[in-house]
Amino acid sequence: MEYGGAEEKQQKTCSQEGMKTMRTVTLTKESTKDILENLLKRSPNHYGKFEDAVAEILKKVRKEGDRALFAYTKEFDKTEITAETIRVTEAEIQEAYDAVDPGLLEVIRKALVNIRSFHEKQKQNSWFSTTEEGTMLGQKVSPLKRVGVYVPGGKAVYPSSVLMNIVPAKVAGVDEIIMTTPPGKDGKVCPTTLVAAKEAGADAVYKVGGAQAVGALAYGTESIPKVDKIVGPGNIFVALAKKAVYGYVSIDSIAGPSEILVLADDTANPRYVAADLLSQAEHDELASAILITTSRELAEKVSREVDGFTEVLSRKDIIRKSLDNFGYILIAENMEEAIEAANEIASEHMEIVTENPFEVMMKVRNAGAIFIGPYSSEPLGDYFAGPNHVLPTNGTAKFFSPLSVDDFIKKSSIVYYSREALEKIHKDIEQFASAEQLTAHANSVAVRFENEDR
């Protein structure tokens, strides 16, 4: 990806100070606009050059089924899979349990309790209301029958995402949860990924990744059944494939790179703030880390702490590129201005570290997840607290919500009218239908009372 144009303009229009790891910018409407334009470069909608390749993969999977899956797995993952080996066996799962550190397994189980408990509070029930006139209206809530969960492989091993995608589906009552994840060159799935899948309740795990896995879940193959919905993060090919199959199946969202925005005043601990910004910057070179503060002194201290941490952290090269491209310290005139900018950016993760964080929280409209106070750092939500860490990115927190039990249910409206109830209002319906020139609609009601109306 090239960074020019808007970035150069930004350097002219923003009051940029120094050449530290994070640029410091005086917050104005123009600087906010420029930053938003820069952040939106990371959206999957800007990767049209890959769409043709993704379309070809999906076309081949739809036409050739398993044969295409095996060929693409050999090409991209450098390993052979067959109809006999594509599905993970119980023996492989047991082997994974033997390989995972018992201490980590205990932590996974503790996190599962919190995640399950949180999502159980989201469950919805069917409801019905009746009247004396002989009507009954309601809403029937039904879980989806079969859901596909995509889990990245390779260097990206995130058992926490396995838990976050499977648990709400399980709580919703989904009949069958199928997971796909790319195998390593040895033809095996990462042990922690397998253990997390088993603990969370996956019904089957298949060794296939990339756009071809999305195609298999969307269309079905000889080995992998078609699902009703696909959830889970992935690389740009996975994101574009999910976008392409939407309509054949439902999807959760098209995930973009990770983001964090910290709202802070002069009461914040600069060391904590710096550490939290870097917790997201280390994800990848497209991750975004932004501090908006009313304190220039805090800004300077955070900048120094960021420099110090970056030197000693294991993923410092990724962090530097992330901060160079999408890292900002924004200095606001007051907290109202800071909150307004934060709502415009609509970050995936927002931390509020101010003197009155709950008061500030009530004014925040747009954020995927909000972390309140100095001891609610973002990784608490990633791993353990319970709320889902699959969150809207790239400004979509303005209209999307975190993954939840709601994503795995559907609702049917229920309508019942007795003859007596319909008789009282049938002419109203006929008049409405006639006004729209839909005479068959009107007739559908009128025919039930044609003898009485003569």
Q: Report d(CA 26, CA 13) in Å as an integer.
A: 10
Say whether 441 is catalytic.
no
For the chain, the helix, strand and coil percentages under 3-state DSSP, each to the nearest 5:
50, 15, 35
- Is 349 among the catalytic positions? yes
Q: CB 386: neighbour CB atoms within 10 A?
A: 19
Average pLDDT of span 156-171: 93
pTM of the predicted model, to two decimals? 0.90
* pLDDT one-digit tens code per residue, 419-440: 999 999 999 999 999 999 999 9
Across the range 284-292, mean pLDDT stands at: 91
Is the separation of the CB atoms in 356 and 50 below 8 Å? no
Q: Above 50 in pLDDT, residue 263?
A: yes
Choice among 259, 285, 337, 349 that is catalytic: 349
Average pLDDT for 239-255: 93
Q: What residues contact 450, with CB distance under 8 A and at least 6 apart?
A: none
Provide the mean pLDDT of the chain: 91
For residue 432, the model assigns a pLDDT of 97
- Displacement of CA 450 from its chain's centroid (Å): 54
**CB proximity list for 385: less than 8 A, separation 6 or greater:** 114, 118
Q: Which of 259, 285, 348, 351 is catalytic?
A: 348
Helices vs. strands in the chain: H and E counts, helices first? 19, 14
- Higher model confidence: residue 87 or residue 286? 87
